[in-house]
Structure 1
């Protein structure tokens, strides 16, 4: 009887057991293909055409890329993106330092945590406006501080040499808060037995941090670095809000250049070429980091 019941159950199965996970993943895979893979493929295709967004597309092959790599604006935007990437790498260690400071059982520490968490929940546009007021040469707090120490006022967002650094500083504020949240979560999930064993072996301070705590925080570090890199390479909101790429294109980045060429100059194909280059840079960096991460784990 049991064998008969089992055979009947197997006959009633419409979907083989091996296909059940794919059935559950199917909606997410469809949405991923529709909203991620399809736009990527379409961008690659569009970059081979000249199109103003309204008329007929004209095949130009690699002409958009040839023009792009002959453009001074492109290399200025690429240089600024490299600056964003290098300086944004300060976010994970600073976030870790703040998380270690806040990971204490002290009276009032919850209020301090909330204050450090606050920048993460603010819109990038609001952050851009706040820092624009902060940098204002006549009424801004920055120049009031400089005047207190006897320095001359600086029109930071109008200075070609310093404008990019000013925008990056505004972007680092919420990025450090995000990394801090990741590390606080990781610190709450540490294995207390390992820490206690290390302390019994007289490990403390930097040795305890390096050999016991940091290895357990590697998942948080991985997410923090990847998200920070992506945030640095696709930086757009603060540039658009604070300077619109100015003065004279000195603060533009690849994402803003793509937007400007596509929307204002009606060059959809050229803008798509910028997007493709940005995507390839981002994909290459993340693939390199993933490879190193997997090798270290093995």
Structure 2
């Protein structure tokens, strides 16, 4: 199943990236693509829309990592036995269970000019409202903030699960040795949260690099293509308004896959090295 639905499509996408193909077969069912070798990749190098999409993805990747410390500290706050803690957990968990489409719509209304809450707040503070989704310099950061809302909730859940498995005897021993606060967190708690951290990093990297739905719902890549990311540009080139350039879309997909594998492989290697040194 993994070979059919994961490995084989990856191989097909890489192969397709060397062709110029409109996605159609002839009447005999034969492939009509033209082999262009590295032509699609050479075109990417000089494509300003691809450059914008790549830089936006890097912004997503860097800023999305804020979900890890924020999710960890919320999880530590919620890992208590006090009255009403289940209600608080439910409130923090809520963003994760709603659809990304709903998240996009909520934040689109939040940022909306004239009546959006964020617009009205900035207007009351500075005298002039800020329409984030209409500003080419700010739009990507506004969408990233929308994506962080459910992502922090997801990371929080992972760390809450990990905190339930922290050995209480190690905590007590550390307290007897005088460890507390950040020292307790850094030397005692975080080493036991490595499995949760590993999963959190993987899902956060993947979430940052496949940020298609929020861009599609909130801006459609605008204004003037300034909020495009690689996954959305791939869709535009392969199936969207730019025509059925399947080979070019596949080349964008291969670049996105390569970036994802670099980060994930690097983190897996670091985790493996740390485990072998212990």
Pick one of 55, 76, 79 that aligns with 1:103. Answer: 79
Q: Cα offset for 1:149?
A: 2.3
1:291 aligns with 2:269: yes
1:49 aligns with 2:19: yes
RMSD of aligned residue pairs (Cα, Å): 0.9
Q: Cα offset for 1:148?
A: 3.1
1:247 alignment partner, SS class: coil
1:187 aligns with 2:187: no
Q: Deviations over 1:141-194 (max 9, x none)?
A: 112222332431111101000000000000000000000000001111110111
| Cα distance in structure 1, aligned partners of 2:100 and 2:253 | 21
Give aligned pairs, total.
268
| Cα distance in structure 1, aligned partners of 2:201 and 2:195 | 10
- Structure having the higher Rg: 1
Pick one of 214, 222, 246 that aligns with 1:268. Answer: 246
The structure-2 alpha-carbon separation of the partners of 1:209 and 1:137, relative to structure 1 and needing over 3 Å to count, comes to same
1:285 alignment partner, SS class: helix
1:88 aligns with 2:58: no
- Per the normalisation by structure 2, the TM-score is 0.95
| Cα distance in structure 2, aligned partners of 1:205 and 1:54 | 62
| Cα distance in structure 2, aligned partners of 1:46 and 1:233 | 21
Runs of 4+ that moved beyond 3 A: none
| Cα distance in structure 2, aligned partners of 1:144 and 1:249 | 26
Question: For residue 109 of structure 2, what is the aligned residue in structure 1?
Answer: 133
Query: What are the equivalent positions in structure 2 for 1:231-250 lying under 5 Å apart?
Result: 231-250=207-226
- Per the normalisation by structure 1, the TM-score is 0.88
1:36 aligns with 2:32: no
Pick one of 153, 176, 199 that aligns with 2:175. Answer: 199
| Cα distance in structure 2, aligned partners of 1:48 and 1:143 | 46
Q: Cα offset for 1:113?
A: 0.6
